[in-house]
Amino acid sequence: MGVNGLTKFVQREDFTTTENYSNCSILVDASGMMYSILNNGISEETHTLDCGGNYKEFESKVIKCFQKLEQCQITPIVVLDGATPLVKHDSKLERLERSLENYRSMKFCTTFWHYLAIDVFVATLKRLKITDIQVPYEADDVLAFLSYRFDLPV
């Protein structure tokens, strides 16, 4: 489910450049990447248009992200979340109910998640022959372990 405030911290700092990491491998948090792509530059107009899920556009944005990494000679290793642990089931259910309520009332919300995006993302990874690791539960612990063990940036 992520680290509270991490996105705002990263946006405030300039950690998003790839020049510092060329010619290496990196770990990619699939959930974080998908969430970022789905909600980057969102406006009231795009929310209305994308409400049903513009998966072709999403796929195109995923491809562009990995092409940029490839141009910098960065090899991504994508780590995908597995099942949600029971302790987080209630909060995930609340988020889904909030999203459904926003869609029903067509209220603009600052972020949203299309639940079929994971299928498009994984299919795109396979097509691009990107290495991916599916973990049994949430990927945060595995990302931290792999980063420490193999000295890879996340």
Query: Mind listing the pLDDT tens digit for each residue in 13-26?
Result: 555 555 566 788 99
Give me the pLDDT at residue 53, please.
65
Query: Mind listing the pLDDT tens digit for each residue in 58-105?
Result: 899 899 999 999 998 999 999 998 876 666 767 777 877 877 776 666
Give me the pLDDT at residue 118, please.
87
Neighbours of 97 (CB within 10 A): 10
- Residue 74 in contact with residue 18, Cβ under 8 Å? yes
Which DSSP string corresponds to 96-118?
HHHHHHHHHHT---S----TTHH
The pTM of this model reads: 0.70
